[in-house]
């Protein structure tokens, strides 16, 4: 898996692609057996431990789409370290959809918009599809 990601990143860099999103762990995956979930939650930790220096050297920025708060501590800490270490990079952005579900993302976005409207930071009339 990690070797395939690296080959993909190398090719995308040559093509000057700016964004890559990899679907790593859906919210539905929590229903899998615990041993499988534990294994899957260690993959981002292993990836960051092995590839962080390479991402920094190749100007790759790491980000996560999904609910980081729902991740096990060791996974969240490792992913956060990777995000922070690459935050200043301006090349390809590698996004992992981690603990991600489309319905949950829509709900989270609506809640965030609601909070912003409630605090007077956003006028509901300014919300559009653009």
Pair 27, 40: CB distance under 8 Å: no
Tens digit of each residue's pLDDT (9 = 90 or more) over 100-126: 988 887 888 899 999 999 999 999 888
In the numeric block, which tokens belong to residue 56? Answer: 């920094």
Q: Categorize the per-residue pLDDT at 73 as very low, low, confident or very high, splitting at 50, 70 and 90.
A: very high
CA distance 108 to 93: 22
The residue written with tokens 């991600």 in the block is 100
Q: What is the CATH number of domain 2-100?
A: 3.40.1180.10
The residue written with tokens 């292993």 in the block is 46
In this prediction, residue 65 carries a pLDDT of 92
In this prediction, residue 14 carries a pLDDT of 84
In this prediction, residue 39 carries a pLDDT of 96
Share of the chain above pLDDT 70, in %: 100
- Reported as type and span, the H/E element at residue 96 is strand 93-100
CA distance 14 to 34: 39
Q: Categorize the per-residue pLDDT at 19 as very low, low, confident or very high, splitting at 50, 70 and 90.
A: very high
């Amino acid at each position: 898996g990690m070797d395939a990601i690296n080959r993909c990143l190398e090719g995308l860099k040559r093509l000057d692609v700016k964004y890559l999103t990899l679907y790593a762990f859906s919210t539905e995956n929590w229903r899998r057996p615990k041993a499988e979930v534990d294994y899957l939650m260690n993959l981002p930790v292993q990836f960051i431990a092995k590839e962080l220096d390479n991402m920094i050297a190749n100007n790759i920025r790491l980000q996560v789409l999904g609910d980081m708060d729902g991740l096990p501590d060791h996974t969240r800490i490792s992913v956060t370290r990777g995000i922070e270490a690459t935050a200043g990079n301006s090349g390809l952005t590698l996004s992992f959809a981690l603990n991600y579900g489309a319905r949950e993302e829509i709900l989270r976005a609506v809640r965030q918009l609601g909070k912003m409207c409630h605090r007077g930071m956003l006028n509901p009339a300014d919300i559009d599809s653009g």
